């Protein structure tokens, strides 16, 4: 969903303390900024407070640097950190893929039609298969093959692309390689992965065929930030789709692909709109 051209976003968090909402709303009122949307959450277990505000300056000449400096001074007593996002900003991203193209195709469509406020700077893959798709969209495609022996060199190439492109977010759109601990640390909080989510869990090859053999009634997908534990990073969003005895393995695969696309796109949208906050090993997510 595209935001209005005059709407700014401020996302902030701090230790739980009396006056946290007031410091945000009072400052905005004093600066003649009209709040159009606000969500907040106080986590009594972690002792952390989170707030996201969309606002519209009521007077011309709004200066972001002056605004941020003034708010930082006012919020210092709350140990509050904040981030300000201007209207219409497109977050620079790099997408990593292997051979499966369904998530990549979906992201490219949403990017091309303006449904996602992102700027895809590059696509990185360990296979050459999707180069033509990238070329059609005019996006640089980097093919970096990988083996167990060349993994450090390959990840160094990937990291170089991320740094040189200025990417603030990395999307693993069915990238079928396990990232090293070092790469996971470098990308902490700014890399989103998508994978199937089935109950019971089926690991290894052909998970949907395993699910069919067990007669599952739901298939799903999980989008999460990466960490050093495979597929166990902080969850951003999940999706499910009912299936029945009439669905064969190929039907489960098709439904699984659809829900993977939708779940990943939702997670990316939530992240770039500053609706997701890391809270220890969990996330606070202010829904759209």
Active site members? 231
DSSP per-residue codes, 228-254: SSTT-SPEEEEEEEE--TT--HHHHHH
Q: Return the H-helix or E-strand segment holding 24.
A: helix 20-30
- Does 200 sit behind a cis peptide bond, omega within 30 degrees of 0 on the bond before it? yes
Taking a C-beta distance cutoff of 8 angstroms, is the pair 58, 32 a contact?
yes
How far is 101 from 84, CA to CA, in rounded Å? 34
Token couple for 283: 């996330």
Using an 8 Å Cβ cutoff, are 218 and 240 in contact? yes
DSSP E strands, 118-217 = 118-125, 141-143, 169-172, 191-196
Gap between the Cα atoms of 261 and 58, Å rounded:
39
């Amino acid at each position: 969903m595209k935001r209005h051209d005059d709407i700014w976003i401020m996302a902030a968090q701090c230790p739980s303390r009396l006056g946290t909402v007031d410091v945000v709303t009072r400052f905005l009122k004093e600066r003649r900024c009209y709040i159009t949307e606000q969500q907040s959450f106080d986590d009594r277990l972690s002792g952390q407070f989170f707030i996201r505000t969309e606002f519209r300056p009521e007077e011309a000449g709004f200066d972001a640097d002056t605004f941020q400096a003034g708010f930082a001074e006012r919020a210092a007593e709350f140990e509050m950190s904040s981030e300000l996002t201007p209207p219409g900003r497109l977050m620079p991203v790099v997408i990593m893929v292997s051979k499966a193209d369904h998530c990549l195709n979906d992201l490219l469509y949403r990017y091309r039609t303006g449904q996602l406020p992102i700027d895809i700077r590059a696509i990185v893959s360990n296979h050459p298969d999707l180069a033509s798709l990238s070329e059609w969209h005019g996006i640089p495609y980097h093919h970096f093959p990988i083996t167990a022996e060349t993994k450090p060199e390959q990840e160094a190439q990937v990291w170089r692309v991320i740094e040189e492109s200025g990417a603030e977010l990395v999307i693993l759109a069915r990238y079928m390689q396990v990232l090293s601990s070092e790469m996971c640390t470098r990308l902490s909080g700014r890399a989103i992965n998508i994978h199937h989510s089935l109950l019971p869990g089926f690991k290894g090859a052909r998970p949907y065929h395993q699910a069919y053999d067990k007669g599952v009634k739901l298939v799903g997908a999980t989008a999460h930030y990466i960490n050093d534990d495979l597929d166990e990073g902080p969850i951003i969003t999940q999706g499910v789709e009912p299936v029945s005895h009439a669905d064969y393995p190929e039907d489960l695969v098709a439904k699984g692909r659809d829900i993977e696309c939708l779940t990943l796109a939702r997670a990316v949208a939530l992240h770039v709109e500053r609706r997701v906050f890391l809270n220890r090993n969990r996330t606070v997510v202010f829904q759209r």
